[in-house]
Amino acid sequence: MHTVVLGASGTTAAEVLAVARHDARVQLSEEAESALAAARAVIDALAAGTDPVYGVSTGFGALATRPIGPHLRARLQRNIVRSHAAGIGPRVEREVVRALMFLRLKTLCSGRTGVRPEVAHALADLLNAGITPVVHEHGSLGCSGDLAPLSHCALALMGEGDAEGPDGTVRPAADLLAAHGLHPVELREKEGLALLNGTDGMLGMLLMALADLDRLYTSADITAALSLEALLGSARVLAPELHAIRPHPGQGAAAANMLAVLRGSGLTGHHQDEAPRVQDAYSVRCAPQVAGAGRDTLAHARLVAERELAAAVDNPVVLPDGRVESNGNFHGAPVGYVLDFLAIAVADLASIAERRTDRLLDRNRSHGLPAFLAEDPGVDSGLMIAQYTQAALVAELKRLAVPASADSIPSSAMQEDHVSLGWSAARKLRTAVDHLTRVLAVEAYAATRALELRAGMVPAEASRAVIAAARAAGIEGPGPDRFLAPDLAAADAFVRGGALVRAAESVTGPLA
């Protein structure tokens, strides 16, 4: 477990993943401490003055016109946290909540929010103690940011609500704080608002999706190559000179990956009869174009994420010249859009993988393979229903590809009359990434079986390495019908854990 040191200028995707998924510790730099103290001095000066300042001496949202006297301001900050902690439904995953907290801490450390240093330290202490507030699935409209999810986290800082301890047990937050020698925070001017006014949840989920999709797009190139090989397809369509004349970077990378996997294959370009096959079906021939477009979408989403990682999202913000200004930077549109773009790309990648699987199982289109890759078709059903499972996942992925960010619903008495729904886009993308993993697992299962059924033909060395690794992972090869669910679960784990990619790369070297 290493330590991530937060400064005042943002963080990196790798640091977010280290804290969210690997429990890295968090520490504030001297730069962050100075930025926090300087911004707090500005807020303290405004709190002592007579001019109304949003979030300091006024109410919130549609109630911003009411001035709040000094004797009510601590209560105001407590109340905004309590009232906004209004989530409902199943709990959100631990890694998402940790990313949410860390990204909010990143913005606090920017010196643009005006919280006291002790508030930032309290949030870091919560992360370092492994205390994870209970956050619920539903409640965020993505504007002003992820209000309800962040409020549940702020509630735990106050010693209220429930949280999960490092042992996985959910207990009252006050008990967990006491057990770790921590004390509830008494919020002051601006601090309740600063703890819950950001796009941190949707950004955290975007970063984790990007990391997972990096692996899955490489996996998809490998499964596409295995299917092309099992179908006796032509590798000539993967030639670099063909992709150079349509120079999309992702397309070129996908084609290069497939070509590397197929190097030395004894199956590509063969035919079951004397009639040459001039062209393969689109799902085989156009695999690099579809996967490549998705890869380029990933690149755009990563650019947006990097900008957000350098951002300080709050309202109002303390500017470098000491002004405190209201703004609209909390709106989740930039993140919501790319979350939806990725869901579309994921659905299409899964769709083309399912079409290749179906082709492997159809004796009229598989160029000599037995129907459904069964040992005794008719007596055995082979992988017929595995493809049903894959098709059901693809059908749901198409529904999940409907953009959340194209919708909006007004709230807060029409003060917040346009919202991003970026949290909803992020939640459905997480489901989509899971489903894509399973779809690719079914293709890998079918393609490895099909390759083993090509008696007397020698697959590429990388393909043989994948087959051997799959069998070592408990994924059964050809044979009579058996209980398929355990094989599919093993194939899911094989893809999800990266073993598929590692097996291919043991021969090819690093793939893109």
Are residues 356 and 224 in contact, defined by beta-carbon separation less than 8 angstroms? yes
Paired with 67 in beta bridges are: 58
Contact 163, 173 (CB under 8 A): yes
8 A C-beta contact, residue 152 and residue 136: yes
- Residue 284 backbone dihedrals phi, psi, to 5 degrees: -95, -50
Q: Which residues pair with 25 in a beta bridge?
A: 3
Residues near 158 by beta carbon (within 8 Å), at least 6 away in sequence: 78, 81, 173, 184, 185, 187
Which pair of tokens denotes residue 483?
A: 């209980």
Strand, coil or helix: 439? helix
Query: Which position among 54, 217, 337, 445 bears the catalytic label?
Result: 54
Distance of CA 141 to the CA centre of its chain: 18
Give how far Cα 21 sits from Cα of 95, 127, 427, Å. 6, 12, 17
Degrees, nearest 5: CA angle 81-85-88: 180
The Cα-based distances of 448 to 131, 238, 452, 510 in angstroms read 43, 21, 6, 21
Residue 163 pairs in a beta bridge with 133, 171
How far is it, in rounded angstroms, from Cα 430 to Cα 499? 21
Rounded (10°) angle between helices 499-508 and 200-230: 60
Separation between Cα atoms, residue 401 and residue 153, nearest integer Å: 29
Contacting residues for 184 by C-beta, under 8 A, at least 6 apart: 157, 158, 159, 160, 174, 177
Residue owning tokens 């209201």:
326
Contacts of residue 455, defined as CB under 8 A and 6 or more positions apart, other chains included, come to none
Q: CA 382 to CA 260: how far, in whole Å? A: 30
- Is residue 54 annotated as part of the catalytic site, yes or no? yes
End-to-end distance of the chain based on CA atoms, in angstroms? Answer: 28
The residue type at 140 = S
Structure tokens belonging to residue 290: 């579809």
Q: Amino acid identity, residue 271?
A: H
CA 93 to chain centroid: 12
Structure tokens at 43: 């807020």
Q: How far apart are CA 145 and CA 13, in angstroms?
A: 19
CA distance linking residue 130 with residue 53, whole number of Å: 36
Which positions are catalytic?
A: 54
